[in-house]
Structures are given as C-alpha cells and as structure tokens.
Amino acid sequence: MMRANLLLALPVLCPLAGVALSLLAWRWPLVQRGVSLAASFGLLLSAIALVGAVHDGTVLATQFGAWQAPFGISFVGDMLSAAMVLIAGLMAVAVGIYGLAGDASAREYAFYHPLYQGLLLGVTGAFLTGDIFNLYVWFEVMLISSFGLLALGGTKAQLDAGVKYVTLNLVVTTQFLIAVALLYGATGTLNMADLALVLPTVENQGLVTTLALLFLVAFGAKAAVFPLFFWLPAAYHTASAPVVAIFAALLTKVGVYAILRTFTLMFDGDTGVTAPIVGAIAAATMITGVLGAAAHFDIRRILSFHIISQIGYMLLGIAVATPLAVGGAILYVIHHIVVKANLFLVAGVIHRAGGSYHLKEIGGLYRGLPLLGVLFAIPALSLAGLPPLSGFWAKFGVIKASLDAGHIALAVTGLAVGLLTLYSMLKIWNEAFWKAAPERSVAAERRWLGEPGTRVLMLVPISALATITLAIGFWAEPFVDYSLRAGAQLLDKSAYIDAVFPPETAGGARIQESVP
C-alpha cells in the first residue's frame, strides 16, 4: 500500500512543489528555472517508476484522506494513465529546456514557471484521478494555469484569445459540473469504479445515455472536436512557442483521455447510441481540421488546425471500440503528443531563424540550416502517416480496425485526410525551406547563427523528440504491444474495479456479495 501511495502521489507532488517553490522565488528567475526544471525531471522520473510498476497489467489504486472507496479520494494508475503521465513528464522536460531560450526572462517575471508547473499539476491529476468530481477539479486547475500562460505577453491578440478560450471553457466546465450533479443524483456515487458497477443497474437507461452525451460534449470541447474546436485556432497562434507546444501536447489530450476513460469504464454499455455519434464527430473533426490547415499560410494556424484533424483519428478508435481500435487510439495519442509538440517547437525556431511565422515572408532555410530541415521533416512526415514513422503505425491501427469492423466510410475518410495532411506539410516545406529566401528572412538567419546558446537550448529538445519519433517508427513492436495491452485493459474493467475495491475492504466485500 505504501508503495502504491508513493508511486501515485509523486507525479502530482513534483509539479505541486514546483508551483510552491517557484512562487516563493518569484524575485529570482534563475532560481525559478532550477526549481521548474527539477520538478519536471522529478515528474519524469516518478512517471518512469509508475510505468515500471504497471506495465505488466497491474493496476495500482490508493485512497487519500483515510477513507475507503467510494468515499475516499481515489487515485488509480493503470497502463493508460501511467503512459499519459510519462509522456506528460517527457514533454515537461523537453519544453521546459526549450523555454529557457530566447526571451525567457520576460516570461519569467510574469510567473511563467509557476503557471507552467500548475498546468502540469492539473494534467497529471486528471490522468490519475479515479473520481469524476475530482476530474472536474483538475480541469479547473488546468484552465486557470493555461489562461495565465496564454495571456503572458499581455498583447491585445493574446488577451482576446484568452477571453475566447476562458469563456468557452467556463461554459463547458459548468455543463460538466451539472452533468456530475445529475450523475450523483442518479447513482449516489462519483467514484469511477463504483459508477462502473452502479450505472448498468440504473432503471432509467435513457437518463444514462443523456448523461453520456453531456459528458461527451464537455470532454469533446476540451479535445477540440467538431463543432466545438473554434477556440483552438483562435487561441494557439497568439502564444509563445514553448507555451503553445505544451498546450498542443497535453491540453486536448486530456479531453481525449477523459473520453477514453469514461466511455470504456462508465458508459461501455451505451455504445449502441453514442458510438455512431462519436463516429460522425470523428469524421467531421478530421475533415474540417485538415481543410483549415490546407487553407492557411501561417505555420501556427496550420499546425493548430492539424491538432483538430488528428483528434478525429483518436475519436475514430473510440467509436469503433474494438481492442485493436482502442489500442490504436492510445498509440495515436502517444505519437501525436510527441510529434505535435515537436512541430510547434520547430515552428518557434523557424520564426527565430526566418523572421516570421507567415510562409510568404520566409524561405531558403534548408540551404543555410539543413539540420533544421531534417528536424522538421521527421515529425511532419510522421504526422502525415508515412511509413515507417510513428504516425504510420498509429494510423494503421485505427484504420485497419475500422475496416475490420465494417466502417468503410470512416476508414476512407481517414486515408483521404492523411493525403491532405501530407499536402499541407509539403506546403510548409516548399515555402519555408525550399523557395528563395526574402531579404528579411536572410537577415533573421544571420542573427540566429550568431546565437549559439539559444540554438543549443532550442535544438536539443527538438532533436530528442525527433529521435523518439524515429524510435516509435523503427522499433514499433514494444510501443504497439503496450498500446494494445493498455486498450485491452480498458475494455476489461475488472482489474480497475478490483484495484479500487480490494476484497478485504468493505467495498470489495459488497462487490463479492453482489456477484451471483
């Protein structure tokens, strides 16, 4: 029990300590840097330990507050949540190092590090909680921190984007809270494992379906699915490169994680009504996202719309809901977090070395900076799904599962969207790297070459993430195997419930008595 407590608490305690200590050191930016990096490395190391404890299928659970489930505050770590915490820790370190470059001092005096750690705190708490109300609380922690990060520069565009972002999220979280209240009224519990047992026994299954749809809308808005995605391209293009990279990596994925968790653990018996809706949303999300990317010439807007289209692939796996589809969706989430964060980090370098985010104002980068061209090509081609990069295996999983289950239209949509993704990536390549460089771009490149310290801080994390992308692609078997086993564990919720309600507890005895 002590081991489970420690393994589940440390990923949350590390960013919590990062928030507290960096706030205390708000007058000393260098101290804040050290604290924030130490907390990020602590999160990564504790996540590695957690994955090591659950990779064989073990589910860890603990109850904080000296109350047994369903009354205690449950934290649960299974293969999915541990993988999500690990990838969050990896992003925390990579983006944390990148964020020390360039105009870091200006951000640091505006509470960048406490807000950064606060965002990580909300994300890891959401991945580990076993209680639907506490999921709402972690969403709020994430929302407050992300708004602060979005408005860091204080420009008119950032404040305008922040208002749109917060307004939609407040509406959505209010609806989420209403759904939680209705759920408690119908079942008398908010513990997810307990809900998995109680919801199938509710006489009014129409109410259960309504609750499922309410949660789908709330989590779908967080994940930026069709038609609730408008806040994302309106907000992301205004943030600084490290901020938008950590947003792109984690914010929408928390919404996807919440859908995966609730629609496999709590609402699994409701797939007859919700699965076609999720499938239609997945197709619309893929199409609208990629068309938006094809229409724009600002790199950040292109990449922002690509987040939306790629979320559609993850929903596709959830809609099909076979073991291969769910496993493919999990692999897609892992691959996309790495690739998308890296593309936004590369975009930050393009802005610095080319002088602009707009493709018409830059060019010729490959001639002077061939390494940057390679570091862009790896995540770009992976995002498009070219073999044997990581995106290929992720797309292969969800599309093959769709074909196997007879969802031909969804599979064809996924393939067509992959081609359009490749088109928009080639557009960035041709404009930023291949065409002749405008004078402004040449001058920016000279300045970039004169900043060796900044180059190291920005290119090392990008290179590390590109290496991980190559590793997932060329050494795919362990990643695919882990994802498939995590998906199978989601679909067989018995281990999760047994971990939360051990047989020796009152809750476990109640479950055993209820089994015929």
Domain contains 514:
no
Burial 434-470 (b: 16+ CB within 10 A, else e): ebebbeebbebbeebeeeeebbebbbebbebbbebbb
Cα–Cα distance list, 363 to 19, 119, 458 (Å): 40, 35, 20
pLDDT band at 278 (very low <50, low <70, confident <90, very high): very high
Residue 516: predicted pLDDT? 45
**Ramachandran class of 224: left when φ > 0, alpha when ψ lies in -120 to 50, beta otherwise:** left
| CB 26 within 8 Å of CB 32 | yes
What pLDDT is stored for residue 191 in this prediction?
95
Percent of the chain beyond pLDDT 90? 74
Q: What's the rounded Cα separation, in Å, for the pair 179 and 441?
A: 51
- Which domain range does residue 316 map to? 1-498
Residues 443-476: tens digit of each pLDDT = 888 888 888 889 999 999 999 999 999 999 999 9
- Is the model more confident about 65 or about 100? 100
Cα gap 246→127, rounded to integer Å: 16
Cβ atoms of 355 and 362 closer than 8 Å: yes
Q: Which of helix, strand or coil describes residue 191?
A: strand
* Nearest residue to 320 via CA among 276, 288, 284: 276
Give the contacts of 59 (CB within 8 A, at least 6 positions apart).
76, 77, 78, 489, 495, 496, 498, 499
Task: State the average pLDDT over residues 76-95.
Answer: 97
* 509 part of a folded domain: no
The confidence score (pLDDT) of residue 417 equals 95
Sign, CA dihedral 472-475-477-478, equals negative
Residue 151 CB coordination number (10 Å): 21
Torsion of CA 516, 193, 315, 163, to 10 degrees: 150
Q: Tokens standing for 358? A: 């707009």
Average pLDDT over residues 327-337: 96
| First vs last C-alpha separation in the chain | 29
In a domain, 283, yes or no: yes
Count structural domains, the chain: 1
Give residue 107's pLDDT: 80
Average pLDDT estimate for 321-327: 94
Which tens digit of pLDDT belongs to each residue from 466-514? 999 999 999 999 999 999 999 999 999 999 999 999 876 666 656 655 5
Length of the chain: 516
Per-residue model confidence (pLDDT) at position 514: 56
Residue in the block written with tokens 């393994």: 7
Establish if 515 belongs to a structural domain: no
Give the DSSP H/E element, type plus range, for residue 61. Answer: strand 60-64
Q: Is the pLDDT of residue 515 over 60?
A: no
What pLDDT, on a 0 to 100 scale, did the predictor assign at position 509? Answer: 58
| pLDDT, position 506 | 60
| Residues 148-207: tens digit of each pLDDT | 998 887 788 888 888 888 888 888 889 999 999 999 999 999 999 999 999 999 988 889
In a domain, 505, yes or no: no
Query: pLDDT tens, 384-423?
Result: 999 989 999 999 999 999 999 999 999 999 999 999 999 9
The torsion region of residue 502 among left (phi > 0), alpha (psi -120 to 50) and beta comes to beta
452: enclosing H helix or E strand: helix 452-474
Distance CA(19)–CA(40), nearest Å, equals 11
Q: Which of 249-258, 330-339, 429-438 has the lowest mean pLDDT?
A: 429-438
Give dist(CA 346, CA 371) in Å, integer: 11
DSSP run (H or E) holding 471: helix 452-474
Q: What one-letter code names the amino acid at 136?
A: Y
**Both tokens assigned to 458:** 């920005």
Per the CB < 8 A criterion, the answer to whether 434 and 363 are in contact is: yes
Contact 90, 51 (CB under 8 A): no
Q: What is the DSSP string of 224-281?
A: T-TTS-THHHHHHTTS-HHHHHHHHHHHHHHHHHHHHHHHHHTSGGGHHHHHHHHHHH
The arithmetic mean of pLDDT across residues 109-129, rounded, is 94
371 to each of 235, 322, 375, how far by Cα in Å?
30, 41, 6
Query: Which of 129, 167, 168 is closest to 257 using CA atoms?
Result: 129
Say if 433 falls within a structural domain.
yes
User: Is 510 inside any structural domain?
Assistant: no
Token pair, residue 251, equals: 């914010």
CB under 8 Å to 109, separation ≥6 — which residues? 29
pTM for the structure as a whole:
0.95
Query: Could you report the per-residue pLDDT of 50-77, keeping only the tens digit for each?
Result: 999 999 999 999 988 777 878 888 999 9
